[in-house]
Amino acid sequence: MPDRPPHPAYVIDQMISAKAIAARVEALAREITAHFKGTDKLVVVGLLRGSFVFIADLVREIELPVEVDFLEASSYGDSMHSSREVRILKDLRGEIAGRDVLLVEDIVDTGFTLHHVIHLLQAREPKRLRVCALLDKPSRREVAVKADWTGFEIPDAFVVGYGIDFAQRNRNLPYIGKVRFLEDG
C-alpha cells in the first residue's frame, strides 16, 4: 500500500496576478517614500518568512536610504490555523531606538502576530513605526490591529504564493493563489 502524502491534495487557483502585485508594490513604495521623506534612513523590518519576497520587491522601489532587518515570529507552525501563541524565533540584529521603522508583513489574518510584534517594537522606542501588509483579511480579525498600507484586501481564503506558504510549500509562486482542497477518492 503506498504511503499517504503528509498533506491533503489541493490545487491553487490564481487570485492576484504577478502583474497586479508588481503594480501595487510600486504604488505602495511611492506612498511610503512620500510618508518618510526626509528620513536619514528607513529601517525596513520584514516579518519572516512570508514577507521575504514582498520586502525584496518593496525595498527596491522605495526611493530612500534603507536598512533591512528581519524578525521571525510564528503563531502557525505547519498548521493552517493560528495557535494564538506568538513566539519570536529570530530577533532583529540592529537597534531601532530613535529610528524610522517600517514593519512589513505578508498577511494580516487574526492579528495576533502583528499585534504582538508591534508592541515588541514599540517598546524599543522607534522614532516612528508604521506597518505595510501585502494582504489583509479583515473578516478573520480577532485583535484590533490595522496596517498603515495594505496591498490587497482578500476574503477569508487560505492563500499561498509570493512568499506565503502552506507547510513550507508554494512560496515560489509569482502570484497569490487560493488553495482549494480536493476530495479524497
| Cα–Cα distance for residue pair 37/51, rounded to 1 Å | 23
Looking at 57, 100, 109, 136, which residue is catalytic? 109
Reply yes or no on whether 109 is catalytic: yes
Amino acid in position 128: R
Q: Name residues whose C-beta falls within 8 Å of residue 40's C-beta, 6 or more positions apart in sequence.
A: 65
Go through the chain and tell me how many residues it has: 185
Amino acid in position 27: A
Is the separation of the CB atoms in 12 and 175 below 8 Å? no
Which positions are annotated as active-site residues? 109
